[in-house]
Amino acid sequence: MKQFDTGLLILRTVFGLFLAYHGYNKFFGPGGLAGTARWFGDIGMRWPRWQARLAATTEVGSGVLMALGLLTPLAAAGMIGVMTVAIVVEHWKVGFFIFKPKQGWEYCASIAVTAFVIATVGPGRWSLDHAAGIHWNGWTGSVIAALAGLLGASTQLAISYRPKHA
Protein backbone atom coordinates (compact mmCIF):
# COMPACT_ATOMS: atom_id res chain seq x y z
CA MET A 1 0.00 0.00 0.00
CA LYS A 2 2.93 2.38 0.51
CA GLN A 3 3.59 2.37 -3.24
CA PHE A 4 -0.07 3.15 -3.94
CA ASP A 5 -0.13 6.03 -1.46
CA THR A 6 3.20 7.33 -2.76
CA GLY A 7 1.92 7.17 -6.33
CA LEU A 8 -1.27 9.04 -5.41
CA LEU A 9 0.68 11.67 -3.50
CA ILE A 10 2.96 12.28 -6.49
CA LEU A 11 0.07 12.28 -8.98
CA ARG A 12 -2.08 14.63 -6.87
CA THR A 13 0.82 16.96 -6.20
CA VAL A 14 2.06 17.15 -9.78
CA PHE A 15 -1.33 17.58 -11.48
CA GLY A 16 -2.63 19.83 -8.71
CA LEU A 17 0.34 22.17 -8.53
CA PHE A 18 0.76 22.27 -12.31
CA LEU A 19 -2.86 23.40 -12.66
CA ALA A 20 -2.50 25.86 -9.78
CA TYR A 21 0.54 27.36 -11.49
CA HIS A 22 -1.44 27.60 -14.73
CA GLY A 23 -4.05 29.63 -12.84
CA TYR A 24 -1.34 31.72 -11.19
CA ASN A 25 -0.06 32.52 -14.69
CA LYS A 26 -3.53 33.77 -15.63
CA PHE A 27 -3.35 36.17 -12.69
CA PHE A 28 0.31 37.21 -12.83
CA GLY A 29 1.79 36.02 -16.15
CA PRO A 30 3.10 38.40 -18.80
CA GLY A 31 -0.32 39.82 -19.70
CA GLY A 32 -1.76 39.41 -16.22
CA LEU A 33 -5.46 39.10 -15.62
CA ALA A 34 -6.16 41.88 -18.13
CA GLY A 35 -4.41 39.88 -20.87
CA THR A 36 -6.29 36.74 -19.89
CA ALA A 37 -9.56 38.69 -20.03
CA ARG A 38 -8.73 40.08 -23.49
CA TRP A 39 -8.03 36.56 -24.73
CA PHE A 40 -11.25 35.25 -23.17
CA GLY A 41 -13.16 38.01 -24.96
CA ASP A 42 -11.48 37.11 -28.24
CA ILE A 43 -12.54 33.46 -27.96
CA GLY A 44 -16.17 34.31 -27.26
CA MET A 45 -16.65 34.55 -23.52
CA ARG A 46 -19.46 36.97 -22.69
CA TRP A 47 -18.01 38.50 -19.51
CA PRO A 48 -14.28 38.02 -20.05
CA ARG A 49 -13.00 39.84 -16.96
CA TRP A 50 -15.29 37.87 -14.66
CA GLN A 51 -14.55 34.61 -16.46
CA ALA A 52 -10.79 35.19 -16.39
CA ARG A 53 -10.98 35.61 -12.61
CA LEU A 54 -13.25 32.57 -12.29
CA ALA A 55 -10.98 30.36 -14.41
CA ALA A 56 -7.79 31.50 -12.65
CA THR A 57 -9.35 31.10 -9.20
CA THR A 58 -10.73 27.66 -10.06
CA GLU A 59 -7.36 26.51 -11.37
CA VAL A 60 -5.46 27.78 -8.34
CA GLY A 61 -8.05 26.63 -5.79
CA SER A 62 -8.81 23.20 -7.19
CA GLY A 63 -5.13 22.60 -7.95
CA VAL A 64 -4.02 23.39 -4.41
CA LEU A 65 -6.87 21.34 -2.90
CA MET A 66 -5.95 18.39 -5.16
CA ALA A 67 -2.27 18.63 -4.21
CA LEU A 68 -3.21 18.63 -0.52
CA GLY A 69 -5.77 15.87 -0.95
CA LEU A 70 -8.42 18.06 0.68
CA LEU A 71 -12.06 17.81 -0.40
CA THR A 72 -10.68 15.76 -3.24
CA PRO A 73 -13.90 15.14 -5.23
CA LEU A 74 -14.66 18.87 -5.18
CA ALA A 75 -11.11 19.65 -6.27
CA ALA A 76 -11.52 17.12 -9.06
CA ALA A 77 -14.84 18.71 -10.02
CA GLY A 78 -13.12 22.08 -10.41
CA MET A 79 -10.41 20.52 -12.55
CA ILE A 80 -12.94 18.64 -14.68
CA GLY A 81 -15.08 21.74 -15.10
CA VAL A 82 -12.30 24.10 -16.13
CA MET A 83 -10.77 21.55 -18.50
CA THR A 84 -14.14 20.79 -20.09
CA VAL A 85 -14.70 24.48 -20.77
CA ALA A 86 -11.18 24.78 -22.22
CA ILE A 87 -11.78 21.80 -24.50
CA VAL A 88 -15.12 23.08 -25.78
CA VAL A 89 -14.13 26.72 -26.18
CA GLU A 90 -10.61 26.45 -27.56
CA HIS A 91 -9.09 23.01 -28.04
CA TRP A 92 -11.71 20.73 -29.62
CA LYS A 93 -11.65 22.52 -32.99
CA VAL A 94 -7.89 21.98 -33.25
CA GLY A 95 -8.11 18.19 -32.97
CA PHE A 96 -6.71 15.68 -30.53
CA PHE A 97 -2.96 16.22 -30.41
CA ILE A 98 -1.44 18.89 -28.18
CA PHE A 99 1.51 19.36 -30.53
CA LYS A 100 -0.74 20.81 -33.23
CA PRO A 101 -0.64 24.58 -33.68
CA LYS A 102 -3.03 26.15 -31.12
CA GLN A 103 -2.92 22.83 -29.17
CA GLY A 104 -5.47 20.05 -29.35
CA TRP A 105 -7.56 18.72 -26.49
CA GLU A 106 -5.31 15.81 -25.50
CA TYR A 107 -3.69 17.43 -22.45
CA CYS A 108 -6.87 19.04 -21.10
CA ALA A 109 -8.64 15.68 -21.30
CA SER A 110 -5.70 14.02 -19.53
CA ILE A 111 -6.01 16.47 -16.63
CA ALA A 112 -9.79 15.90 -16.38
CA VAL A 113 -9.49 12.11 -16.50
CA THR A 114 -6.67 12.11 -13.94
CA ALA A 115 -8.80 14.23 -11.59
CA PHE A 116 -11.77 11.87 -12.06
CA VAL A 117 -9.64 8.80 -11.32
CA ILE A 118 -8.17 10.37 -8.18
CA ALA A 119 -11.70 11.29 -7.00
CA THR A 120 -12.76 7.69 -7.63
CA VAL A 121 -9.90 5.91 -5.86
CA GLY A 122 -9.49 8.61 -3.22
CA PRO A 123 -6.48 10.75 -2.36
CA GLY A 124 -4.66 8.07 -0.37
CA ARG A 125 -3.46 7.90 3.22
CA TRP A 126 -1.07 10.82 2.79
CA SER A 127 -3.78 13.41 2.32
CA LEU A 128 -5.68 15.92 4.43
CA ASP A 129 -8.91 14.08 3.61
CA HIS A 130 -7.52 10.95 5.24
CA ALA A 131 -6.25 12.92 8.24
CA ALA A 132 -9.69 14.54 8.69
CA GLY A 133 -11.61 11.29 8.21
CA ILE A 134 -13.20 12.44 4.93
CA HIS A 135 -13.78 9.38 2.76
CA TRP A 136 -15.61 10.59 -0.33
CA ASN A 137 -14.12 8.07 -2.69
CA GLY A 138 -15.44 5.18 -4.74
CA TRP A 139 -18.83 5.87 -6.32
CA THR A 140 -19.40 8.86 -4.06
CA GLY A 141 -16.19 10.58 -5.14
CA SER A 142 -16.64 9.79 -8.80
CA VAL A 143 -20.26 10.99 -8.88
CA ILE A 144 -19.45 14.22 -7.01
CA ALA A 145 -16.49 14.95 -9.30
CA ALA A 146 -18.23 14.11 -12.58
CA LEU A 147 -21.60 15.68 -11.86
CA ALA A 148 -20.33 18.86 -10.23
CA GLY A 149 -17.56 19.28 -12.82
CA LEU A 150 -19.74 18.68 -15.87
CA LEU A 151 -22.69 20.63 -14.45
CA GLY A 152 -20.41 23.58 -13.67
CA ALA A 153 -18.87 23.48 -17.15
CA SER A 154 -22.26 23.14 -18.85
CA THR A 155 -23.67 26.04 -16.88
CA GLN A 156 -20.67 28.23 -17.63
CA LEU A 157 -20.87 27.42 -21.33
CA ALA A 158 -24.65 27.87 -21.57
CA ILE A 159 -24.67 31.19 -19.76
CA SER A 160 -21.56 32.83 -21.11
CA TYR A 161 -20.00 31.26 -24.19
CA ARG A 162 -20.89 32.91 -27.46
CA PRO A 163 -18.56 31.52 -30.13
CA LYS A 164 -17.50 33.96 -32.78
CA HIS A 165 -18.26 32.84 -36.30
CA ALA A 166 -15.78 33.59 -39.06
pLDDT tens digits along 73-100: 999 999 999 999 999 999 999 999 988 8
Spatial distance between the Cα atoms of 37 and 115, rounded to a whole number of angstroms: 26
pLDDT at residue 1 in the model: 76
Residue 57 has pLDDT above 90, yes or no: yes
pLDDT level of residue 11 (50, 70, 90 thresholds): very high
pLDDT tens for 130-165 read 999 999 989 999 999 999 999 999 999 999 999 877
C-alpha distances in angstroms, 6 versus 12, 25, 71, 137? 10, 28, 19, 17
Question: Which phi and psi angles does 161 have, rounded to 5°?
Answer: -95, 120
Closest CA to 81 of 155, 153, 14: 153
Spatial distance between the Cα atoms of 14 and 20, rounded to a whole number of angstroms: 10
Q: Which residue spans within the chain are E strands per DSSP?
A: none
- Domain ranges within the chain, ordered by starting residue: 2-160
Per the prediction, the chain carries an average pLDDT of 95
pLDDT at residue 166 in the model: 57
pLDDT level of residue 102 (50, 70, 90 thresholds): confident
The pTM of the full predicted model, rounded to 2 decimals, is 0.95
Mean pLDDT computed over 37-44: 95
Type of residue at 7:
G
Q: How many C-alpha atoms does 112 have within 13 Å on its Cβ side?
A: 20
Spatial distance between the Cα atoms of 105 and 73, rounded to a whole number of angstroms: 22
Q: Identify whether the C-beta of residue 107 lies closer than 8 Å to the C-beta of residue 98.
A: yes
Closest CA to 44 of 99, 16, 86, 97: 86
